Structure 1
Amino acid sequence: MKHLTLAAVLCVGLSACQTVYYSAMEKVGVHKREILVDRVEATKESQQNSQQEFQSALERLTTLVNFDGGELQTAYEQLNDDYESSLSAASDVSNNIDKVEDVAEALFDEWQDELGQYSNANLKRESEKKLKQTQRQFSKLLKSMRRSEAKMQPVLDSLKDNVLYLKHNLNAQAVAAIRGEFDSLKVDIQNLINDMNRSIADSNAFIEQMNQNKG
């Protein structure tokens, strides 16, 4: 069992090792369904963290555009830190969504293959019905996750533009220049947070449904 667990740990995050990982986990009693639920939960948590980072960057930018004296260098450095944190959090979200999609595909392929092993037609029909229902709900969840993910990059690009501009123009005129872009960025960040909230709600619904279907 120790060897299986070690192999699983070593293979996490490597696409070529996912099949080995799932097989190893199954041998210690952890099935793809459970891994999928865990990864959806992890994605939800990474989205919540990302929301906090983007909100922090927005608040920092709000302070900056209302700047009325003090040390601009410090304000710039704080905004740059918030941008870097937002970038890292966004990367975590994307990585987690990829992992969710990978294990879902593996689960549905396995489930489909196992339908051919039934001798009882009624049980096969019921299992196939549950598979299609789960696939539909997962498809909705994945679209929701990808939709909010797609909105992260434009926000990150805008934050980066502001950070780069301030880096070489630490003066009142530079602050006035980014003030003109602020309202648009504020709307984009709020839309992103709202989309993530919808995705988080879809994740909760999917997790609940999967837990109800354990039996």
Structure 2
Amino acid sequence: MQRILTILLPILMKKRSWLLIAVVGWLALSGNGLSLPSGSLLPDLSIDRLWKEPRDILVDRVEDARDAQQETIEQFQTAMEKFKAVTGFDGGDLEAQYEKLNAAYEHSAARATEIGTRIDKVTSAANTLLDEWRAELKDYHDPKLRAIAERQFDDTRLRAERLIGAMRAVEQRTEPVLALFRDQVLYLKHNLNARAISSLDAERGRVQQNVDVLIRDMQAAIDEANAFIETLKIAS
């Protein structure tokens, strides 16, 4: 049965058959121990793929990735505010300040991880759309229409590659900024005294500069995502 499902599910997925919904529901509810094929054989098996067109799914995924980046910008700004608050600390419970800064760092790291997950989903949705589109190009009988469709395909493919590349670049740039934050948090954790505050204050300019550059690049990726979404909506 497992082997049969491995063969049938990709076919049903491509056609977005209601039979697939029944199969998935049966697998989820039955207690027979069967499982879906591995992700390498059937990537991105999500409920929206059962009834949405690949183009619409891609728009949704790009919007999700864009929103995740916007939330990450806001979180990094919050973390920077917490960092500044610690450097301006002039008495009281220093450990409480550390806890706030550490929480801000952890939230920032979680947001950065979410970006990576969202980009993976954009990549998967883009590949699904382009694979289906590429396969259908050969179905054209009119050479002029085929040429137009091929140009549209190439334009969409290049735009998708540029968007995903921009998002991946931003994802990579978050790592050194997070590492810089993490260093400051660790130093404060093990040196809850005035000397630690002085050290953090000396690093404030460098941290701020790194955060500003990251936010600028992330905003550029958000703008790229918005432009890509508009292109897909116009073409649909």
TM over 0.5: yes
1:110 CA drift (Å): 1.7
1:111 CA drift (Å): 1.1
Cα distance in structure 1, aligned partners of 2:170 and 2:50: 35
1:21 CA drift (Å): 2.5
Relative distance call for 1:19 and 1:157 in structure 2 (3 A) is closer
Cα distance in structure 2, aligned partners of 1:6 and 1:162: 52
Q: Quick one: which amino acid aligns to residue 4 of structure 1?
A: I
| Residues 8-87 of structure 1 aligned to structure 2 (within 5 Å) | 15-16=39-40, 18-19=42-43, 21=45, 25=48, 27-28=50-51, 30-87=52-109
Matched residue of 1:16: which SS? Answer: coil
Matched residue of 2:40: which SS? Answer: helix
Cα distance in structure 2, aligned partners of 1:50 and 1:26: 27
1:32 CA drift (Å): 1.2
1:2 CA drift (Å): 9.1
Cα distance in structure 1, aligned partners of 2:173 and 2:143: 45
**Where do 5+ consecutive residues of structure 2 fail to align?**
1-17, 29-34
Relative distance call for 1:3 and 1:126 in structure 2 (3 A) is closer
**Does the 8 Å CA contact 1:4/1:25 hold for their aligned counterparts?**
no
Relative distance call for 1:155 and 1:2 in structure 2 (3 A) is farther
1:108 aligned to 2:125? no
1:19 CA drift (Å): 4.3
Cα distance in structure 2, aligned partners of 1:205 and 1:5: 37
1:25 CA drift (Å): 4.6
2:21 aligned residue: 4
Q: How many residues align?
A: 209
1:42 CA drift (Å): 0.1
Cα RMSD (Å): 2.3
TM-score after normalising by structure 2: 0.82
Cα distance in structure 2, aligned partners of 1:20 and 1:68: 52
Cα distance in structure 1, aligned partners of 2:104 and 2:173: 18
**Where do 5+ consecutive residues of structure 1 fail to align?**
none
Q: Quick one: which amino acid aligns to residue 163 of structure 2?
A: L
1:194 aligned to 2:216? yes
2:184 aligned residue: 162
Relative distance call for 1:5 and 1:184 in structure 2 (3 A) is farther
1:154 CA drift (Å): 0.5
Of 126, 148, 151 in structure 1, the residue corresponding to residue 170 of structure 2 is: 148
Runs of at least 4 residues off by over 3 Å: 5-8, 14-20, 24-27
Relative distance call for 1:34 and 1:90 in structure 2 (3 A) is same
TM-score after normalising by structure 1: 0.89
Cα distance in structure 2, aligned partners of 1:209 and 1:111: 16
Q: Quick one: which amino acid aligns to residue 208 of structure 1?
A: E
**Does the 8 Å CA contact 2:116/2:171 hold for their aligned counterparts?**
yes
Which structure has the larger Rg over C-alpha atoms?
2
